[in-house]
């Protein structure tokens, strides 16, 4: 076979996109109508199989709720993939409840995306009679299944879910959780109690407000006052309890936290009200007290709802399997990952994670370490060489022998590094401006109240009680504290509508103060889809079918990239199949030899090495086509970086090599610092150096190799293609599809400080005027109680209105739009 020289002039050889028919199940374009049933076309046999199962069980309403609701069945499921669930000891760790037969289990289903998914998953009982009930929590993508173990096993349930396209994600973390993260129902109950009591107290207080000059009958006056007091009891002792508890914890630590002044205001208004009603000298201020509690709970609930279904504190166990296949003298058995020991022999298949540091015994190992190091290129490992935990096998089945237990593996030691556990909340620089102000507010208020009492002691002692009480009521810090609560709550709501989910409100302040952004490369500015450029021989449609037939038999990442580039095509009959590990594959198709692999394997004289050096070649007969395969940049990443360069110092830290340096420099520009081949600790140390030089750093990454840097940074943002999927511990999660919104998001975070300052000014002016009038004895406690909720409502309107206006002008979405 003669050698062929490939011209370096690249020609993009884009395959023809099939647009004739959409798959009835998943909506992907079909290359032909060869796969069809009941006049419905399918892109592959997998989608056709799912349709047949759904149709046979009378569940075709699944397709009427939404067009093409299914997920593409891109790969067949191995028969023994879930065999570990036959081990009752393993399965028992996943059960939420069991009495021996009736059992309840909850699975996380990443593929849930529409109402059709919900409908099908809640009708699993029609697919198998052993399932009695199934309920889906759409926001958390968790399905809870009730089933009879005597009629269907846990393994069969998981296989059923996988067959219809909703394979559950089962990890080691599922067995180690002490409790499932649940929504704070107590706060909802407290809000309901506070709202009910506040509304009724306000209603029964109107006669008191309107009768200051006319008077009302004695019996009704007492009745309404005591009814208000009765309604105020659950507000004070139950709904407001979290403010008292938090304030007391702060006092025990010798600090005045954000809840200290609010707890003080609640106690003062309640005690004064009990005194006035009990001694029949007034109506008290129970409406103001219940209003304080109600509005504060509303503000906190707004913040909590924005991230209740997300996890910001995940570790490596979220990624690891619950069990592995161990080779013993009795055959292959499933073994819990925690029970894995040194010298255990483990069998791994394509796309499975290395559970512990091991050596390769048999098979061709191509290990993808991008999860741990960031290096996107799979590494070839020879027999008896070491393989590290966290890598992923890409290729044929391999057999490995464990040399370190899971607890002693490189990945575990990396995660347990002290810097990866940094407690950001202990950093004084991250202290909220609201907490700082609250430290001084109560002290200043007490000093002024004492001065007022001394003043009236000398001039008119009868004015002391009314003046001091009016001061403590009118100067209630609700307006001041609610300005931050509602500003942050509204901004968190807006950000969540635009794909940015924050761990808590303090992250907004830190985003606004930041001046440097550090990006990871693989999976952050680039994504999983490969950019394929073909040059050399232009493939005909027949040759594309031949290439697809041969490449589809290989699990090598380059073969998969070519298959993705070609699209779904017709498979032809082939023979004389052969794969040479580390070099390529070949087969005879239509009496022509088709080779796919390295230049040496297909007989090509390759061009000199460079950043655009072809990754793989295809030879059909004497015709050769070369493919350059490289990670593709995310959509609009160039415009995003160009926008950010005006306000931030940009850096790139990549665990990958520098073969894509020219492309990266083109999007980052010459002023940015680009560092390649960076280990996780190198990333952490780089950010630490920036911070020591006075920089406030945002780190944006996506993998466990970024976890230390995410923790070290002032704000760690995880970029996720699925925000509900497992991500490293971080301060915020950004939907990768919304990356182009990042500049607007950061501008809004910066503007939040100005919004809070505006509301602070309004609140301070209100407090100064109110305190002056109260100190002079002009303002009575009753009028102060009426003005206090008015000021609170005005602050809420200002903060939410201005922040929403700023977001609108930045082009951000103000409300959630269902896609």
570-592 tens-digit pLDDT: 778 878 878 776 678 888 888 88
Closest Cα partner for 648 from 756, 533, 511? 511
- Higher-confidence residue: 216 or 32? 32
194 within 8 A of 291, measured Cβ to Cβ: no
Say if residue 414's pLDDT is above 80. Answer: no
Residues near 189 by beta carbon (within 8 Å), at least 6 away in sequence:
none
Closest Cα partner for 294 from 143, 482, 163? 482
Using pLDDT thresholds of 50, 70 and 90, give the confidence band for residue 332.
confident
DSSP letter string, 738-786:
GGGGHHHHHHHHHHHHHHHHHHHHHHHHHHHHHHHHHHTT-S-HHHHHH
pLDDT given for residue 795 in this prediction: 74
- Higher-confidence residue: 473 or 522? 522
pLDDT given for residue 579 in this prediction: 74
- Return the sign of the alpha-carbon dihedral for residues 596, 601, 602, 608: positive
Which of 11-20, 530-539, 741-750 reaches the highest mean pLDDT? 741-750
- Higher-confidence residue: 237 or 283? 237
Say if residue 195's pLDDT is above 50. Answer: yes
Say if residue 381's pLDDT is above 80. Answer: yes
pLDDT given for residue 577 in this prediction: 77
pLDDT given for residue 450 in this prediction: 84
pLDDT given for residue 781 in this prediction: 55
Closest Cα partner for 394 from 566, 520, 581, 524? 581
- Higher-confidence residue: 380 or 227? 227
- Higher-confidence residue: 342 or 553? 342
Using pLDDT thresholds of 50, 70 and 90, give the confidence band for residue 7.
very low
pLDDT given for residue 439 in this prediction: 61
Closest Cα partner for 55 from 74, 67, 40? 40
- Higher-confidence residue: 763 or 335? 335
Q: Which two tokens stand for residue 405?
A: 């237990």
Q: Which of 49-53, 310-314, 399-403, 697-701 has the least mean pLDDT? A: 310-314
Share of the chain above pLDDT 70, in %: 73
Say if residue 619's pLDDT is above 80. Answer: yes
663-711 tens-digit pLDDT: 888 888 878 899 888 887 888 889 999 999 999 999 998 766 677 788 8
pLDDT given for residue 178 in this prediction: 43
Using pLDDT thresholds of 50, 70 and 90, give the confidence band for residue 427.
very low
Say if residue 231's pLDDT is above 90. Answer: yes
Alpha carbon distance 106, 136 (integer Å) = 9
Q: Which of 22-26, 101-105, 368-372 has the least mean pLDDT? A: 368-372
Alpha carbon distance 193, 186 (integer Å) = 11
Task: Determine how many CB atoms are found less than 10 A away from the CB of residue 387.
Answer: 23
Rounded mean pLDDT, 71-97 = 75
- Cα 800 from chain centre: 25
In the three-class reduction of DSSP (H, G, I as helix; E, B as strand; rest coil), residue 366 is classed as: strand
| C-alpha Rg value of the chain to the nearest Å | 33
Using pLDDT thresholds of 50, 70 and 90, give the confidence band for residue 177.
very low
Q: Give the CA dihedral 563, 568, 571, 577, nearest 10 degrees.
A: 10
Sheet holding 500-502, edge to edge: 500-502, 732-735, 715-720, 697-701, 516-520, 649-653, 673-675
Say if residue 611's pLDDT is above 50. Answer: no
Residues near 40 by beta carbon (within 8 Å), at least 6 away in sequence:
24, 51
Rounded mean pLDDT, 200-221 = 68
- Higher-confidence residue: 55 or 286? 286
Say if residue 132's pLDDT is above 80. Answer: yes
454-502 tens-digit pLDDT: 888 888 877 776 677 667 666 655 556 666 777 777 888 888 788 888 8
- Higher-confidence residue: 132 or 630? 132
Buried b (16+ CB within 10 A) or exposed e, 515-538: ebbbbbbbbbbbbeebebbbbbbe
- Higher-confidence residue: 536 or 7? 536
491 within 8 A of 506, measured Cβ to Cβ: no
Say if residue 382's pLDDT is above 70. Answer: yes
Alpha carbon distance 247, 258 (integer Å) = 8
Q: Which residues pair with 519 in a beta bridge?
A: 652, 700
Rounded mean pLDDT, 33-57 = 75
Average pLDDT, the chain: 76
Q: How far is CA 292 from CA 141, 150, 435, 722, 791, in A?
A: 36, 55, 18, 39, 11
Rounded mean pLDDT, 139-150 = 86
pLDDT given for residue 216 in this prediction: 54
475 within 8 A of 262, measured Cβ to Cβ: no
Rounded mean pLDDT, 598-616 = 66
- Higher-confidence residue: 79 or 782? 79
pLDDT given for residue 303 in this prediction: 54
Q: Which of 18-22, 391-395, 454-458 has the least mean pLDDT? A: 18-22
Rounded mean pLDDT, 102-121 = 80
Using pLDDT thresholds of 50, 70 and 90, give the confidence band for residue 429.
very low
pLDDT given for residue 147 in this prediction: 93
Q: How far is CA 122 from CA 112, 170, 510, in A?
A: 12, 20, 42
Q: What are phi and psi of 326, to 5 degrees?
A: -110, 135
- Higher-confidence residue: 390 or 514? 514
- Higher-confidence residue: 606 or 81? 81
Alpha carbon distance 538, 2 (integer Å) = 19
Say if residue 12's pLDDT is above 70. Answer: no
- Higher-confidence residue: 210 or 406? 406
**Residue the block writes with tokens 């109950």:** 189
Say if residue 397's pLDDT is above 60. Answer: yes
């Amino acid at each position: 076979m003669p050698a062929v020289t490939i011209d370096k002039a690249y020609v993009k050889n884009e395959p023809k996109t099939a647009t004739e028919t959409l798959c009835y199940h998943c909506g992907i374009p079909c290359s032909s109508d060869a796969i069809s049933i009941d006049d419905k076309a399918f892109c592959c046999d997998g989608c056709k199989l799912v349709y047949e199962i759904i149709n046979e069980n009378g569940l075709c309403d699944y397709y009427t709720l939404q067009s093409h609701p299914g997920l593409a069945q891109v790969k067949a499921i191995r028969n023994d993939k879930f065999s570990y669930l036959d081990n009752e000891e393993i399965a028992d760790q996943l059960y939420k409840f069991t009495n021996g037969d009736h059992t309840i289990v909850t699975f996380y289903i990443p593929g849930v995306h529409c109402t059709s998914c919900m409908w099908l998953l809640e009708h699993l009982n029609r697919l198998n009679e052993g399932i009695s009930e199934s309920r889906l929590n759409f926001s958390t993508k968790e399905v809870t299944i009730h089933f009879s173990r005597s009629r269907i096993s846990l393994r069969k349930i998981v296989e059923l879910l996988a067959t219809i396209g909703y394979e559950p994600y089962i990890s080691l973390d599922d067995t180690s959780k002490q409790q499932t993260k649940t929504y704070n129902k107590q706060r909802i109950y407290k809000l309901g109690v506070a709202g009910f009591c506040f509304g009724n107290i306000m209603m029964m207080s109107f006669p008191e407000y309107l009768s200051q000059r006319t008077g009302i009958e004695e019996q009704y006056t007492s009745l309404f006052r005591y009814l208000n007091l009765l309604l105020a009891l659950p507000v004070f002792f139950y709904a407001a309890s979290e403010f008292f508890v938090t304030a007391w914890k702060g006092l025990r630590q010798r600090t005045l936290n954000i809840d200290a002044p609010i707890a003080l205001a609640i106690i003062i208004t309640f005690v004064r009200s009990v005194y006035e009603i009990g001694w029949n000298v007034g109506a008290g201020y129970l409406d103001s007290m219940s209003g304080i509690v109600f509005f504060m709970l509303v503000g906190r609930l707004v913040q909590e709802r924005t991230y209740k279904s997300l996890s910001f504190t995940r570790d490596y166990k979220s990624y690891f399997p619950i069990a592995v296949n161990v080779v013993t003298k009795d055959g292959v058995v499933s073994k819990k990952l925690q029970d894995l020991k040194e010298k255990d022999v483990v069998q791994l298949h394509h796309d499975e994670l290395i559970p512990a540091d091991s050596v390769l015994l048999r098979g061709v190992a191509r290990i993808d370490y991008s999860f741990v190091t960031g290096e996107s290129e799979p590494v070839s490992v020879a027999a008896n060489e070491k393989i590290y935990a966290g890598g992923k096998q890409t290729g044929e089945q391999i057999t490995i022998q464990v040399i370190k237990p899971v607890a002693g593996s490189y990945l575990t030691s990396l995660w347990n590094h002290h810097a990866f556990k940094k407690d950001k909340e202990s950093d004084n620089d991250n202290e909220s401006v609201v907490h700082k102000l609250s430290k001084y507010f109560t002290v200043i208020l007490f000093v002024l109240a004492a001065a007022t009492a001394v003043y009236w002691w000398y001039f008119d002692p009868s004015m002391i009680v009314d003046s001091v009480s009016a001061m403590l009521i009118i100067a209630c810090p609700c307006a001041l504290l609610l300005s931050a609560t509602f500003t942050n709550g509204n901004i968190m709501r807006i950000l969540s509508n635009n794909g940015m989910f924050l761990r808590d409100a303090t992250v907004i302040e830190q985003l606004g103060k930041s001046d440097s952004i550090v990006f990871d490369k693989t999976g952050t500015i680039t994504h999983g889809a490969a950019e394929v450029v073909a040059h050399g021989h232009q493939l005909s449609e027949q040759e594309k079918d031949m290439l697809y037939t041969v490449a589809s038999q290989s699990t090598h990442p380059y073969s998969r990239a070519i298959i993705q580039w070609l699209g779904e095509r017709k498979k032809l009959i082939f023979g004389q199949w052969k794969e040479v590990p580390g070099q390529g594959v070949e087969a005879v198709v239509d009496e022509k030899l088709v080779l796919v692999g390295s230049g040496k394997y297909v007989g090509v004289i390759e061009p000199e090495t460079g950043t655009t050096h072809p990754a793989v070649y295809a030879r059909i007969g004497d015709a050769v086509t070369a493919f350059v395969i490289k990670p593709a940049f995310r959509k609009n990443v160039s415009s995003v970086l160009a926008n950010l360069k005006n306000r931030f110092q940009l850096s790139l830290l990549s665990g990958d090599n520098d073969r894509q340096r020219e492309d990266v420099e083109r999007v980052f520009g010459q002023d940015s610092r680009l560092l390649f081949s960076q280990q996780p600790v190198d990333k952490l140390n780089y950010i630490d150096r920036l911070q020591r030089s006075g920089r406030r750093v945002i780190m944006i990454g996506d993998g466990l190799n970024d976890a230390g840097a995410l923790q070290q940074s002032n704000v760690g943002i995880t970029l996720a293609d699925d925000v509900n999927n497992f991500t490293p511990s971080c301060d915020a999660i950004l939907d990768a599809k919304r990356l182009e919104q990042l500049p607007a998001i950061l501008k809004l975070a910066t503007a939040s400080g100005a919004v809070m300052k505006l509301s602070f000014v309004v609140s301070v002016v209100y407090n100064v005027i109110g305190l002056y009038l109260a100190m002079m004895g002009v303002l009575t406690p009753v009028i102060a109680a009426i003005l206090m909720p008015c000021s609170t409502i005005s602050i809420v309107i200002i903060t939410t209105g201005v922040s929403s206006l700023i977001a609108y002008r930045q082009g951000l979405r103000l409300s959630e739009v269902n896609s």
